[in-house]
Structure 1
Amino acid sequence: MTETSALQPGGIALVSPLSAALGFSEAIIGIAATAAQREREQRLPHEEIATLKALGFGALRLPADDGGRGLSLSELFAVARDVAAADSNIAHALRNHFWQVEAALKQRALPFHAHVLDLVRQRKTIGLSFVESDATAAGARPSRVLSRLEWDERKQVYLGSGDKVYATGNLYNDAFIGVAVESRANTTVQYVLERAEGVSDEDDWLGFGQRLTGSGTARFRDVVVKVEHVYAPDPPKAPEAAPWGFTFHQIYLTNCIAGIVRRVVLDAVEVLRGRKRNFYHGGAAHPADEPALQALLGRIRAYAASIEASADRAVQALQRALDSEGTNEEYAATLAATLAASEAKVVIDDIAPQVASWLIDLGSGSVVSSVGALDRHWRNIKVIASHNPRLYKERLLGQNLLTGQLPPTGAFF
Structure 2
Amino acid sequence: MTYIHRASIIKSDNESIEIARRLAREFAVEASHRDRERNLPVNEVEAFSASGLWGISVPRAFGGADVSVRTIADVFELISAADSSLGQIPQNHFATLERLRHDGTASQQDFFFSRALAGERFGNATAEPGDRLPSEHETRVHRGESGFVLSGRKVYSTGALFADWIPVAALDDDGLPVTAFVARHARGVEVIDDWSGFGQRTTASGQVRLDHVELDALQIVKRGRSGHIDAANAVSQLIHAAIDLGIGRAALDDTKRFLKELSHPARGSGATRAVEDPYTLRDIGSLTVDYHAAQALTARAAGLIDAARDEAARADVAAAIVATAEAKILTTQFALDAANKLFELAGTQSTLETHNLDRHWRNARTHTLHDSVRWKYHAVGQFALNELLCDPFTYAHPYSAIDE
State the TM-score bracket (shorter-chain normalisation).
0.7 to 0.9
Is contact 1:396-1:407 (8 Å) kept?
Answer: yes
1:193 to 178, 182, 196: 182
**What is the match of residue 379 of structure 2?**
396
Is contact 2:148-2:214 (8 Å) kept?
Answer: yes
Q: Go from structure 1 to structure 2 and tell me whether the alpha carbon gap of 1:123 and 1:301 turns closer, same or farther (over 3 Å shift).
A: same
What is the percentage of aligned positions where both structures have the same residue?
A: 24
Measured after TM superposition, the shift of residue 284 of structure 1 is 2.5
Residue identity in the other structure for 1:287? A
**What is the match of residue 341 of structure 2?**
358
Q: Go from structure 1 to structure 2 and tell me whether the alpha carbon gap of 1:46 and 1:342 turns closer, same or farther (over 3 Å shift).
A: same
> What is the RMSD of the two structures over their aligned residues, measured on CA atoms?
3.3
Taking the aligned partners of 1:218 and 1:232, their CA distance within structure 2 comes to: 19
Instruction: Between 391-400 and 363-372, report the one with greater CA deviation.
Output: 391-400
1:51 paired to 2:47: yes
2:234 to 247, 272, 279: 247
**What is the match of residue 283 of structure 2?**
296
**What is the match of residue 74 of structure 1?**
70
Q: Go from structure 1 to structure 2 and tell me whether the alpha carbon gap of 1:110 and 1:272 turns closer, same or farther (over 3 Å shift).
A: same
**What is the match of residue 109 of structure 2?**
113
Is contact 1:77-1:255 (8 Å) kept?
Answer: yes
Unaligned runs of 5+ in 2: 1-12, 398-404
CA deviations 1:68-88 (Å, max 9, x no partner) are 444222211111111111111
Taking the aligned partners of 1:305 and 1:188, their CA distance within structure 2 comes to: 39
Residue identity in the other structure for 1:236? R
Q: What SS does structure 1 have at the residue aligned with 2:380?
A: helix
CA deviations 1:351-410 (Å, max 9, x no partner) are 431222111112110100122222222222222222221222222322333333322221
Q: What SS does structure 1 have at the residue aligned with 2:67?
A: coil
1:169 to 148, 152, 159: 159
Measured after TM superposition, the shift of residue 231 of structure 1 is 4.5
Is contact 1:40-1:370 (8 Å) kept?
Answer: no
Residue identity in the other structure for 1:382? R
Q: Go from structure 1 to structure 2 and tell me whether the alpha carbon gap of 1:19 and 1:357 turns closer, same or farther (over 3 Å shift).
A: farther
1:326 paired to 2:322: no
Q: Go from structure 1 to structure 2 and tell me whether the alpha carbon gap of 1:407 and 1:64 turns closer, same or farther (over 3 Å shift).
A: closer
Larger radius of gyration: 1
Measured after TM superposition, the shift of residue 248 of structure 1 is 2.0
Q: What SS does structure 2 have at the residue aligned with 1:246?
A: helix
**What is the match of residue 10 of structure 1?**
none
CA deviations 1:44-85 (Å, max 9, x no partner) are 122111111000111011256855444222211111111111
2:23 to 27, 47, 66: 27
1:283 paired to 2:276: no
Residue identity in the other structure for 2:271? A
Is contact 2:263-2:349 (8 Å) kept?
Answer: no
1:148 paired to 2:141: yes
1:368 paired to 2:351: yes
Instruction: Between 158-167 and 362-371, report the one with greater CA deviation.
Output: 158-167
Measured after TM superposition, the shift of residue 149 of structure 1 is 4.8
1:344 paired to 2:338: no
TM normalised by structure 1 equals 0.81
> What does 1:256-267 align with in structure 2 at a 5 Å threshold?
256-267=243-254
Taking the aligned partners of 2:15 and 2:340, their CA distance within structure 1 comes to: 28
**What is the match of residue 5 of structure 2?**
none
**What is the match of residue 11 of structure 1?**
none
Measured after TM superposition, the shift of residue 112 of structure 1 is 2.3
Taking the aligned partners of 1:349 and 1:249, their CA distance within structure 2 comes to: 15
Q: Go from structure 1 to structure 2 and tell me whether the alpha carbon gap of 1:172 and 1:165 turns closer, same or farther (over 3 Å shift).
A: same
> What does 1:126-137 align with in structure 2 at a 5 Å threshold?
126-130=122-126, 132=128
Taking the aligned partners of 2:300 and 2:394, their CA distance within structure 1 comes to: 21
Q: What SS does structure 2 have at the residue aligned with 1:162?
A: strand
Is contact 1:303-1:355 (8 Å) kept?
Answer: no
Instruction: Between 212-221 and 42-51, report the one with greater CA deviation.
Output: 212-221
Taking the aligned partners of 1:158 and 1:255, their CA distance within structure 2 comes to: 37
Unaligned runs of 5+ in 1: 1-16
TM normalised by structure 2 equals 0.82
Taking the aligned partners of 1:392 and 1:276, their CA distance within structure 2 comes to: 39
Runs of 4 or more above 6 Å deviation: 133-137, 185-189
Q: What SS does structure 2 have at the residue aligned with 1:219?
A: strand
